[in-house]
Structure 1
Amino acid sequence: MLGVRGSVAGFLTLATVLPAVAQDFDPAALDLPALVECRADVPTYNGFAFWLAGEPDAADRLGWRKVDSDNPFLSQYELEKSLAAFGSETRTLVFTSSGPMAVLDGMTAPDLARKLDIEPMISTPQKFLGEKVVSEKTETSEGVKFTTRISLNVSTVETHPGKVLAGCSYKIEVE
């Protein structure tokens, strides 16, 4: 979700802004397909992510059930209603440290990556990892440099055999 590097001032700036971002999130306004398919911006994703992590009953309010994942780097949820993303539907969603990914059946990672114009960084029978940068910009405010980066990702992981993970990564780096 956030990558913070360097400056204490940058961290303090974020520390004062982020609680307000989480409080401003309206779950009725959630556009989950937009978050998964990289059609949202970083503040929109961060507002949702901080709300989901900070509200004790957030998943229940969305009709989601947290599921134990064999992968310590993924938080997994079963959705009450199907999520339509990338021309497919799923009821399983995982979150990485930087964004949501749909867990998809019935396709291969290389095929989906080609469809989404994503170049593979790793493409073997055991592992696929591809990324396409959707947006990247740098701004400076009061001497603090903020870099936002949104990337579309397709991958496979050992803990989800036969599945393709596809979704978005939203990052802010502060210097």
Structure 2
Amino acid sequence: MSLRCCLPLLCAFAVPSALASSLDLPALIECRQGVAEQAALAPLLADPLKAVAQGLQPLPQGNQFMSEYRLASPITVFGQQTERVAVAGASIMAVLDQTDPRPLAKRLALETGYDQDGKFMAGRELVSRDVTDPKTGEAQIESIILSVSTVASHPGKTLAGCTYSLDLPEEEPAPTAPAPATGSH
């Protein structure tokens, strides 16, 4: 039996993908990358086989607003080790074994947005810059926000990570016509 038929398949498995070599979860979680790197994560997570191949094992969804993954190897983020990450929209977060999020939020110099009823949210915008879409030439605003929070579905845990977004600039209000002159001549 000849192995020539299988050679392309063997080569495909032997050569790591470009994404595998460029996927830096700690950098994404700690807001040290950009929107393009975060966007490259979406197709990987959309395919469970690709996710597993990159060391991300999908976990049962305990919160309808986020997907959670167990890592094949622990990572260190914000000085703490974790084996779990969560993704919600354009946010990627480490799930940390830390019951009180306040010390981490303080160390990261985050502004507390909400702290009551057992819920905590703090964040800070690290990047807000004008960019141009290379394909369309459209003006956009790149925003990168570091955050720390708690969520009811994960008691005793702290979520810490980054949100990456591209937004359209606010439209300028249309100029208003001068008010008609009222008065007599």
Q: Is the shorter-chain TM-score for this pair beyond 0.5, marking a shared fold?
A: yes
- Give the structure 2 partner of residue 48 of structure 1: 41
Residues 1:149 and 2:143 are matched in the alignment = yes
Task: Say whether residues 1:35 and 2:28 are aligned partners.
Answer: yes
* Cα distance between partner residues in 2 of 1:145 and 1:39: 23
Tell me which of 40, 64, 71 is aligned to 2:56: 64
Residue 97 of structure 2 aligns with which residue? 105
> Where does 1:14-25 land on structure 2 (aligned, <5 Å)?
none
Q: Distance in 1 between matches of 2:18 and 2:36?
A: 10
Query: Which amino acid is 1:48 matched to?
Result: L
How far is 1:125 from its partner?
5.0
SS for the counterpart of 1:162 is: coil
Could you say which structure has the greater relative contact order, defined with CA pairs below 8 angstroms and 6 or more residues apart?
A: 1
* Alpha-carbon distance in 2 for matches of 1:91, 1:104: 9
Length, aligned pairs only: 151
- Please report how far the alpha carbon of residue 25 of structure 1 lies from its aligned counterpart in structure 2 after TM superposition: 5.1
Q: Report the alpha carbon displacement of residue 144 of structure 1 after superposing the two structures with TM.
A: 2.0
- Higher helix residue share: 1
Identity of aligned residues (%): 34
Kept after mapping to 1: 8 A contact 2:44/2:51: no
Question: What aligned pairs does 1:72-151 form with structure 2 within 5 A after superposition?
Answer: 72-124=64-116, 126-140=118-132, 144-151=138-145
Structure 1 residue 65: Cα displacement: 1.3
- Note if 1:161 corresponds to 2:155: yes
Gaps of 5+ in 2: 1-16, 170-185
C-alpha contact (below 8 Å) 1:25/1:51 kept by paired residues: no
Instruction: Specify the code of the residue in structure 2 equivalent to 1:101.
Output: M
Question: Is the Cα contact below 8 Å between 2:48 and 2:58 reproduced in 1?
Answer: no
- Cα deviation for residue 27 of structure 1 reads 1.4
Q: How far, CA to CA, are the matches of 1:107 and 1:83 in structure 2?
A: 19
User: Which stretches in structure 1 are left out of the alignment for 5+ residues?
Assistant: 1-23
Q: Which amino acid aligns with 1:84?
A: T
Native 8 Å contact 2:99 2:155 kept in 1: no
